[in-house]
């Protein structure tokens, strides 16, 4: 995928630190950046928790301009030395605990990583930026979620950048806290932070606990497809590579201190999404334990505090930065099903005992 921001402008190479770069969105962004800007220095910092997978970056590991570091964003000394020795000028901050169900079971890790971790990074970057004389081209991109805005009724207008925060889960509350820190560091210290809030992502390298990969894998294994409540919850689905192109544009053309909402313009009810995946799998998979896949749909007890609807109004990033999503939900789902069909070697090892225990706790 080419970078869409350029329009022939002269571009100086960047030295970018990508936190959480072995996770789902982060790893897709690493691939996007390396494909688009081969001359840039790319450093990935990832703690390799359950949702981080170094295999996702395996094909990049031998490249001269690429470095992977296993480490925790809460480790100030490690972050300081990395910023210094790599002369980092750009941080793309993806590292986060991100699964609502896990935040309900154990909120402490979410406060630690999402709030304390973001604070640690901001403090380290502030010191680093000050030490370099506060260069105007430095950037700190804080990648966040539409869940900080709370839940919408069926007829409510979509979230804009000025929608009041009303997080409803420990996950979204911790992300809201980190957003406020990123904003405060711009207003108090003039640190060049930019915040993005995106809708639900999907695509390659997606950990099996999330809705779309969970459904794809369960169909391939002939297991039930657990759908929360009545299945009428609505989400705006954004293909992950579209999200990466938006973040690319924001880093290059976004204004420090601003927030940009990134959406896919694809509002779909959960049950309709699952049925779309079933049809695609019936069509594309040669061997399935159960066919048609719709026979596997099972409604399960709803998640506590389950937000009914999210929707993003992405007018600002379109009008100010010229970005729009390019992948329809039909095309994106087809690409995603194809990926899970051809990458069993990636997802099979993730179905560990720990994952099965978590799965049974939530769905069984």
The catalytically annotated residue of 146, 209, 248, 258 is 146
The dihedrals phi and psi of 90, each to the nearest 5 degrees, come to: -140, 130
- Tokens in use for 58? 């395996």
8 Å CB contact between 110 and 99: no
Active site residue 146: yes
322: how many CB neighbours lie within 10 A of its CB? 12
What's the CA dihedral at 59, 347, 272, 317 to 10 degrees?
Answer: -30
What residue has token string 């009008």?
A: 319
HSE value, Cβ hemisphere, 13 Å, CA-based, for 139: 25
**Active-site residue, from 97, 101, 147, 248:** 147
Measured distance CA(230)–CA(301) in Å, rounded? 9
Question: 171, 202, 205, 239: which is the annotated catalytic residue?
Answer: 171
SS3 32: helix
* CA atoms of 262 and 258, how far apart (whole Å): 13
Q: Catalytic residue at 147?
A: yes
Which of the residues are catalytic? 146-147, 171
């Amino acid at each position: 995928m080419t970078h869409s921001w350029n329009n022939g402008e002269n571009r100086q190479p960047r030295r970018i630190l990508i936190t959480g770069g072995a996770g789902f969105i982060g790893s897709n962004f690493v691939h996007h950046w390396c494909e688009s800007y081969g001359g840039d220095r790319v450093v990935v910092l990832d703690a390799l928790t359950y949702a981080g997978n170094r295999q996702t970056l395996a094909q990049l590991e031998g490249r001269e301009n690429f470095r992977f570091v296993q480490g925790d964003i809460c480790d100030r000394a490690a972050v300081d030395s990395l910023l210094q020795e790599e002369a980092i000028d750009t941080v793309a901050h993806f590292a986060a605990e991100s699964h609502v169900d896990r935040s309900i079971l154990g909120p402490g890790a979410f406060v630690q990583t999402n709030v304390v971790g973001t604070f640690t990074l901001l403090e380290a970057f502030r010191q680093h930026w000050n030490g370099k004389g506060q260069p105007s081209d430095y950037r700190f991109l804080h990648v966040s979620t539409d869940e900080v805005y709370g839940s919408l009724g069926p007829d409510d207008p979509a979230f804009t950048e000025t929608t009041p925060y009303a997080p409803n889960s420990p996950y979204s509350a911790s992300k809201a806290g980190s957003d406020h820190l990123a904003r405060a560091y711009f207003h108090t210290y003039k640190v060049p932070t930019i915040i993005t809030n995106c809708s639900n992502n999907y695509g390659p390298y997606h950990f099996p606990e999330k809705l779309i990969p969970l459904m794809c894998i369960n169909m391939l294994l002939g297991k039930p497809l657990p759908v929360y409540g009545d299945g009428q919850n609505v989400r705006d689905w954004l293909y992950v590579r579209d999200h990466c192109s938006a973040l690319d544009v924001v880093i290059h053309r976004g204004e420090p201190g601003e927030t940009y909402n990134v959406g896919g313009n694809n509002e779909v009810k959960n049950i309709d999404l699952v049925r779309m995946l079933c049809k695609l799998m019936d069509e594309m998979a040669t061997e399935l334990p159960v066919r048609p896949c719709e026979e596997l749909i099972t409604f399960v007890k709803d998640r506590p505090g389950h937000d009914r609807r999210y929707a993003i109004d992405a007018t600002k990033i379109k009008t100010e930065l010229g970005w729009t999503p390019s992948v329809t939900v039909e095309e994106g789902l087809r690409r995603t099903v194809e990926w899970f069909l051809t990458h069993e070697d990636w997802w099979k090892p993730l179905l560990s005992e720990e994952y099965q225990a978590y799965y049974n706790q939530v769905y069984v």
